[in-house]
Structure 1
């Protein structure tokens, strides 16, 4: 696990090459645990955290800066590790942004159907009345599935041998 963390931090700005599945998920576990630890340190040094619950909803806010700083510092390493993980499965790193691309497509379509002024005003009724409801329903279904698809791609096994993005990390390390 320590080797995976070191590789993830050392290659924080490297978007070429490949990252093995175990290295990626160990690095994600490190970031997750680091964020929890930073939250506890925030609570210890800067006061309490606010957790509000309501039926079907939980809000969490921290009054300290450590978790935010840690998350911001880990943003580029997480993106680069995910990018290289996509390369390891034989896909372009752009596939990591598939949910964002879907959101941009939905917003563009909604704007084209009803104009952008009702969309910016939050008048979704006008957009839905424009006759595009069926297409929007399908697009929102794709939007809901897109993070799961990306997660599925991130869990796939390494592509055997050398691919367009470099040699297999398991074959290089052995």
Structure 2
């Protein structure tokens, strides 16, 4: 596993040749673990800051409605930070995975343009996410915690509005999964010699 990770990290710009399924998926697992650890750490820090801020407001003698409104306004800032962090992480993960995915496609005797299509779809999804940051944060900041039904209706309307963007973000993942598990071609092929299984 470590050899597969090392190999991929030293070949980030190399789109020629072939990667076996095991080499590719060990590297994907490594990237997913890194992403999860960073995401958890950022969420823990941001969530902890939000809770501590609410506790300080409560100790300051604020009533429940004022505390809820303060927390919601702070959530707008948290949404901004979270969405920017996600966009940056998705961009970095896309760049770290692009060459490896291309070599994996070559191993199953598929052209590398499929990886290019997955990268383009992912970059489009990231651009849409960045375009929504201000609007999403403003939306959260305008929620009224005292009226649960109105809040739920507003959230549902917003969810529907951005459903297409959410679906778009799943297409690159689907391409990576489908073509990542595709069987290797036996022996040498158009893209090079059969790779070692790391």
Q: Same fold (TM over 0.5)?
A: yes
- In structure 2, the residue matched to 1:24 is 24
Change (3 A) 1:19 1:99: closer
Higher strand fraction (1 or 2): 1
2-structure distance, mates of 1:149, 1:79: 12
Change (3 A) 1:147 1:74: closer
2-structure distance, mates of 1:150, 1:69: 19
1-structure distance, mates of 2:80, 2:113: 32
- In structure 2, the residue matched to 1:96 is 115
Matched, 1:39 2:45: no
Matched, 1:153 2:172: no
Query: Any idea what the Cα deviations from partners look like across 1:148-173, whole Å, max 9, x if unmatched?
Result: 566333212221111111100038x7
- In structure 1, the residue matched to 2:188 is 162
Give the C-alpha shift of residue 78 in structure 1: 0.5
Equivalent residues in 2 for 1:76-95, closer than 5 Å:
76-95=95-114
Structure 2, unmatched stretches of 5+, are: 51-77, 122-169
- In structure 1, the residue matched to 2:13 is 13
Change (3 A) 1:157 1:70: same
Higher Cα Rg: structure 1 or 2? 2
- Say how many residue pairs are matched: 121
Higher helix fraction (1 or 2): 2
TM-score (norm 1): 0.55
Equivalent residues in 2 for 1:105-144, closer than 5 Å:
none
Higher RCO structure (Cα 8 Å, ≥6 apart)? 2
TM-score (norm 2): 0.49
Q: Aligned-residue CA RMSD in angstroms?
A: 3.6
- In structure 1, the residue matched to 2:72 is none
